[in-house]
Structure 1
């Protein structure tokens, strides 16, 4: 039984929401961040980078306190306003490729996360969890929802469609040419219907935002332990999520770029690969695999196709079937000597939307020695891995939609 509740979102005013909304802080280069803050006083980046005001790099608890100050200033100046009644929010994104994402922004339960009703498929780093938990405790708000996905539901889809016939609270386009729309759903009967439909679901799945959700869970545990009058309805029991149906989720792969052949010559490397893959030289013609367990490879100015010799590899779990895991277990670890996919500086990742061009140019430049491409994972694969309690390797999926910060804010 999945629990969702409406909440009183803090939101930018309609006139400036497009100026406030920002990509996640880490996705900008330093020059991009500074340029946006130089020319846009409303950007949410001013809140999360408070040291800009003093031309200082500020870290730790001091930074968190200043983030809180900047946020309160945005509220005091009327840049942010808070809804008067708890609401769900129908949210629609139309990206520049014509892909459409429809869903509901709601508060979801930390207890559901604890009980594996909200299922995970990626490992998280304990240090990052603790850092973000401390951040949330100090600043008192969360400005970027976790992306969750649920089985397609006709009742919820119809409610979203009906909401979209009304007046949109927001309608704005970002520089990436993604257009965003938001509608309030505050009718009590409709809210109850939405909650009842989610109650019928046994599980929902994290698509993107594993660290945000795990940090919110740690916050919940801390605050619950400190509160002798804990009821389960306090704001810290929940975290903000954008829930979309599985059919709306778009999954791209991440390709792998490797800086060297682990001391092997090209010929030695190909001979080792031949032990588990059937290899075809495709020459200069760009090649992208079309089937699971097939890979593309770019090496020394030529493309290759790699077909797994299935008799030599055992598929015992859902994780074994995942191509990112398969490549790791058959090539990256045993042949190229890459054990730590998260921290080894010999490996880099390219999201699948740009993979062939980026792989070729990166290898041709000499920065990398070899690149590998694969087809994307499916929603069903992700669900099966999560259901078995397993975790995917880092950078296994590049999932759309990508959300913006500062559009709806959940206060603790």
Structure 2
């Protein structure tokens, strides 16, 4: 059983919600963030990427950046851009992208559930990225970006949530990328307690996106426990901001690969080597290949598209990791043929989220790469299967859309 806790969110006033809400800090760099906030002093990027308000020469991990983030967050409250709910509430966050919706519950998750693996992970984290968010959370004394969770029980509180969403939302706007964002506040104590009780049937939550943010939030909580040895467990630093969506609401998009060279091979030699592990077929009329089933890949090289179908026996269907398409490509193409041993560190490979479209692969091959591979999307059930056995997904396995907006909910730690 994983804990769901109501909290008193600090959140935008209704008329500023659309201007404040921002993409997560880690989907853009500083230069891109500076462009994105042009003419928008309200954007939450002024908090999540506070270096944009300092000289561009400053190191993004300088303490001045974190201090500026705290200053900007405090000013949003002082300037009454934000208000805080008077009583602990739960929140409903719905996103609609191209007619498809996902509806999640916003609450505070327990750092103990994370530690005890009631909140399951499927990615490794990097110490430098963790430290950046540890500093950010610590300085701001707040969780500023929600962790994206999912769970298996898809109807656990659906009727209660559906009934509440018939009320007028507090926010209802369309962001610049065409995605609708709708938020309701569950401020009725009886309904709040009912939802919390219903979620006790959820055995575990799974992190869909936000491994670094969740790890950092937990470490800040542990740091504060150490500084407060008489803590009771009820203090806000024992919890972190999360949004949980039922698994059947979510869409994982393809996460494609482009490589700078053919590792010294000609195209003919490459295809000859591929024939041992794949059935290789040239695309009819050279149409771009967007795989429609597992274990099938598109390959674009020298202005031609090919279909690669994995042969039987090159993967173990009973192994949750070995049968993943990202693992099949890595184990049978990227490493043995193209010589890329570690996709985390190699500068010969890049990754392109499916949101950018299949033509982006062609563009990159014509610009600065030599070969591209289009992938069939990893499924949410694959992520859960890997997390359930305590393992991690291969790097760059998942690309979730739409992205949760930061700035709509802030959870103060004290």
**TM-score class normalised by the smaller sequence:** over 0.9
Partner in structure 2 of residue 157 of structure 1: 158
Q: Unmatched 5+ residue regions in structure 2?
A: none
* C-alpha deviation, 1:234, in angstroms: 1.2
- Residue 3 of structure 2 corresponds to 3
- Pick which of 126-135 and 332-341 moved more: 126-135
1:2-401 pair list within 5 angstroms? 2-28=2-28, 32-58=32-58, 59=60, 60-95=62-97, 97-282=98-283, 284-315=286-317, 317-365=319-367, 367-401=368-402
Q: Secondary structure at the match of 2:215?
A: helix
TM-fit CA distance, 1:82: 0.8
Q: 1:313 to 1:73 in 2, by over 3 A?
A: closer
What is the alpha-carbon distance in structure 1 between the residues aligned to residue 51 and residue 370 of structure 2? 40
Q: Deviations over 1:286-334 (max 9, x none)?
A: 2222221111111111111111122244445200111001111111111
Structure 2 CA distance for aligned equivalents of residues 26 and 151 of structure 1? 27
Q: Distance in 2 between matches of 1:399 and 1:209?
A: 11
Contact 1:254 1:352 in 2 (8 A): yes
Distance 1:311 1:150, change over 3 A: closer
Distance in 2 (CA, whole Å) between partners of 1:301 and 1:38 is 38
Q: Does the C-alpha gap of structure 1 residues 261 and 410 become closer, same or farther in structure 2, counting only changes over 3 Å?
A: same
Deviation sequence 1:326-350 (CA, Å, 0-9, x none) = 1111111111111221221111111
TM-score between both structures, scaled by the size of structure 2: 0.94
SS of residue matched to 2:157: helix
Unaligned runs of 5+ in 1: none
- Give the superposition deviation at 1:271: 1.7
Distance 1:348 1:84 in 2: 47
Q: SS in structure 1 opposite 2:355?
A: helix
SS at structure 1 position matched to 2:338:
coil
Moved more, 153-162 or 164-173: 153-162
**3-state DSSP of counterpart to 2:309:** strand
- How many residue pairs are counted as aligned between the two chains? 410
Alpha-carbon distance in 2 for matches of 1:247, 1:262: 41
Give the conservation status (yes or no) of the 8 Å contact 1:47–1:67: yes
Q: 1:323 to 1:14 in 2, by over 3 A?
A: same
Partner SS state of residue 74, structure 1: helix
Distance in 2 of aligned mates of 1:364 and 1:188 = 58
Q: Against the structure 1 CA distance between its residues 106 and 276, is the aligned structure 2 distance closer, same or farther, given a 3 Å change threshold?
A: same
For 1:62 and 1:400, locate their aligned partners in 2 and report how far apart those are by CA, in whole Å.
33
Shift of 1:29: 5.5
Secondary structure of 1:291's counterpart equals coil
My pick for the range that moved more, 220-229 or 321-330, is 220-229
Tell me by how many angstroms 1:84 deviates: 0.6
Distance, in Å, in 1 between the alignment partners of 2:56 and 2:316 is 54
Contact 2:156 2:202 survives alignment (8 Å): no
Task: Please tell me whether the aligned partners of residues 140 and 411 of structure 1 are also in contact (alpha carbons under 8 angstroms).
Answer: yes
Spell out, residue by residue over 1:4-28, the C-alpha distance to the aligned partner (whole angstroms, 9 max, x if none).
1000000111111111111123434
Quickly say closer, same or farther: Cα 1:36–1:276, change in 2 above 3 A: closer
